[in-house]
Amino acid sequence: MLKFYLLPAAAGLLFVLNSCQKRHNSNDGSILRRSVTNASGSGLIATNYVYDQDGVLVRLQLTMNPDNPNFWQEAIVLQFNAAGYLTKSYNAEYGNSAYNIQEYTYSSRRDTIRSVITPYRFLQPAYTRQVVLDDRQRVISDSTRALPTGDITFTSFTWDAAGNMATETSGLIVNGTQQTSKEITYTYDTHRNPFRSFGLPYYLVTREGKAFNVNNVQSWTENNFRYTWQYDYNPNDLPLNSFVPTANGGLKYEFYYR
């Protein structure tokens, strides 16, 4: 029987992953909220992490432009089966309109996840997706095929000896020919990454590879441009806030833990 959750925004416990599993560890420094502001201090997006009574992450509550009276809210909802595997995710707007619906199936060895993506409920599927994992349950390739054109967007990852993402390569294939490609390289600090415990389900719904990193990104280099993060840490060795300078002044991230 599938577990299905559609909860209001609330604080709770952290989702912790052991491979594809979903059990909770009460001593991991659980992140409850992340906010992003620009250089002038205006809010861009705030994310609340919502958990059930068993400590399972069931919803990401997103608020865009939270300082604006015309802010926009939506959610990413996660649905698991009784064995603890993510089987479905979707975005939900106000009024429960569902879109970007993904339904996941796993290979017998649990090293490949395939999904069918529907842009809006009651419509036909528009994409298929394949995610391939290494023997440590980290993503090494992620490709999405558009239906019916067959165009493929892809991302591949390599990992360093410390367990952090070393490179991220992405591009587009049209009619069997690669049209575009870019590569990002990363360096890391020596402090705890609060997203590490989110693992595979979090990656599947957000495509954020940092869910697997041991440490926090210190810098990344893209098209000969290098961006460097500045961090403050709390006594538990987790980032309290971070700032990255950009051409537009920079972005500030703030983290709240239970």
DSSP annotation string for the chain: --B-----S---PPP--STT-----TTS--EEEEEEEETT--EEEEEEEEE-TTS-EEEEEEEESTTSTT-EEEEEEEEE-TTS-EEEEEEEETTS-EEEEEEEEE-TTSSEEEEEEEEETTSPP-EEEEEEE-TTS-EEEEEEEETTT--EEEEEEEE-TTSSEEEEEEEEEETTEEEEEEEEEEEEEEEE-TTTTTHHHHHHHH--GGGG-SEEEEEEEETTEEEE-EEEE-TTSSEEEEEE--TTS-EEEEEEE-
What confidence category does residue 152 fall into, taking pLDDT thresholds of 50, 70 and 90? very high
What confidence category does residue 258 fall into, taking pLDDT thresholds of 50, 70 and 90? confident
Predicted confidence (pLDDT) at residue 9 exceeds the cutoff of 80: no
Q: What is the pTM assigned to this prediction? A: 0.85
pLDDT digits (tens, 9 = 90+) for 91-128: 998 777 899 999 999 999 999 999 999 999 889 999 99
